[in-house]
Structure 1
Amino acid sequence: MGRPKQFDPDAAVEQAMQVFWRKGYAATTPQDLVDALGIGKGSLYNAFGSKHALFERALVRYRDGQAQALIDLLEQSGSVKGRLRDALRLLVELDLGDPDRRGCLAVNTAAERAMTDEAATELVRRMFDRTEGAFRALIEEGQRAGEVASDRDARAIGSQLLATAVGLRLLARVAEGPDRLSRVIDATIDSL
């Protein structure tokens, strides 16, 4: 009979997500994870199999929490342009308010692991697809409501908004303040 688990796996994935988010995949050592999770290496590998398997679970947790929060904001009621502006401002506020300036775990993972890590690349691609789909749906709603010109390609605008959000997340990591980021948001909304 095996010993009962001495830790909460969900809490461990949350802690691991925080470490990967702060340090990146490559710079995170198994010892970093052991220290953050408060468990032994044997328990880490018995529970999660590998550092990479734990990283994948951390990305899924990020998607289900952080990334979903943006989509939830976009799907609220109210002015389409107002919701879009609020969503982009929220990203900037979160990033500038983070003392570690971690940015977005999905964006960071795309920059670090794209095309060298098939599983992580696919998880990030699906997160981006989901976000882009939410942007496109919002634009289509705006077109039906007359807030966005109906002759504009909603799919192309959705892609542009995803690129804007990704760019904002990267710029916020090095921004001295919100001015440049606010200009990007205002220009984006004004272009609709």
Structure 2
Amino acid sequence: MARPSKFDREDALDVVMNQIWQTGYRNNSVKSLAEVLGITRSSFYNAFGSQEQLFKEVLARYTRVSPDRVLAHDNSNKLVRGVITEFFQDICRLRARDPEWRGCMAVNAISELCSSHPELGPVLAEVIFGSLERLERLLKLGVETGELPKDYDIRSNALAVQTLMIGINTLSKVVHSEKSLWLACEATLKGLDLLEKSGQASECKMA
């Protein structure tokens, strides 16, 4: 793992993010992370406070660059089906092109820590709840604009989309074909009436 040439907080967060993304949270320690950063343990504590606090910073940084950040954008002038279809196409492309097939760092951490870490578990749960809330807002927009039926079940379908999001990120650690990943997404989105017609696999250019 490359070290920042000098200690810079943003660079350090990127280094730690990739370290945890590759190896998991519990496979690291203050000692190992300090070594990766090229700093002493005392400098680590002075800079970050604790391994848990550092992870919270890393998680916040990750969520700002992860594919689902588009769900937090102002999508009021866009078609909901188009936003969701493009979002999942982006996930399939990014995960398939990751040479280390790491999946999603947040999803990995949820599986690792959510039910077993008293401090970080609730933080990770909030990531899911926040994502679910954004999906519900997006689907509600689709209903309000008439793109989706008036009786569209926003809550259950948002949960289904969230489940697909978690599942496809996990599946990508084993299935490395962008086309295969998209086929799984396409089938689910079609069943949820959220597939943009131009986003069907036969019309989507895959690498």
What aligned pairs does 1:27-176 form with structure 2 within 5 A after superposition? 27-66=27-66, 69-72=69-72, 75=75, 77-176=77-176
Task: State the partner residue of 2:197.
Answer: none
Structure 1: runs of 5+ lacking an equivalent? 1-5
Higher helix share: 1
**Secondary structure of 1:174's aligned partner:** coil
CA contact under 8 A between 1:73 and 1:83: conserved in structure 2? no
* Matched residue type, 2:94: L
Residues 75, 128 of structure 1: CA spacing in aligned structure 2 closer, same or farther, 3 A cutoff? farther
The superposition leaves residues 6-58 of structure 1 with CA deviations (integer Å, 9 ceiling, x where unpaired) of: 72223222221111111101112434322332222221122122222222221
The superposition leaves residues 53-107 of structure 1 with CA deviations (integer Å, 9 ceiling, x where unpaired) of: 2222212222233266232468373221111000011111111111111111111
Q: Give me the TM-score of the superposition, normalised by structure 2.
A: 0.81
Residues 134, 85 of structure 1: CA spacing in aligned structure 2 closer, same or farther, 3 A cutoff? same
Distance in structure 1 (CA, Å) of the matches to 2:160 and 2:68: 19
Distance in structure 2 (CA, Å) of the matches to 1:68 and 1:131: 8
* Matched residue type, 1:81: R
Distance in structure 2 (CA, Å) of the matches to 1:169 and 1:74: 24
Structure 1 consecutive aligned stretches of length 4 or more whose deviation exceeds 4 Å: none
Distance in structure 2 (CA, Å) of the matches to 1:74 and 1:181: 27
The more displaced of 131-140 and 65-74 is 65-74
Residues 67, 178 of structure 1: CA spacing in aligned structure 2 closer, same or farther, 3 A cutoff? closer
CA contact under 8 A between 1:142 and 1:148: conserved in structure 2? yes
Structure 2: runs of 5+ lacking an equivalent? 1-5, 194-207
* Matched residue type, 2:143: Q
Q: CA deviation at 1:170?
A: 0.4
Task: State the partner residue of 1:181.
Answer: 181
Task: State the partner residue of 1:16.
Answer: 16
Residues 12, 104 of structure 1: CA spacing in aligned structure 2 closer, same or farther, 3 A cutoff? same
CA contact under 8 A between 2:101 and 2:176: conserved in structure 1? no
Paired residues in the alignment total 187
% identical aligned pairs: 26
Q: Give me the TM-score of the superposition, normalised by structure 1.
A: 0.87
Q: CA deviation at 1:187?
A: 1.8
Distance in structure 1 (CA, Å) of the matches to 2:76 and 2:147: 16
- Superposed CA RMSD in Å reads 2.1
Distance in structure 1 (CA, Å) of the matches to 2:137 and 2:171: 26
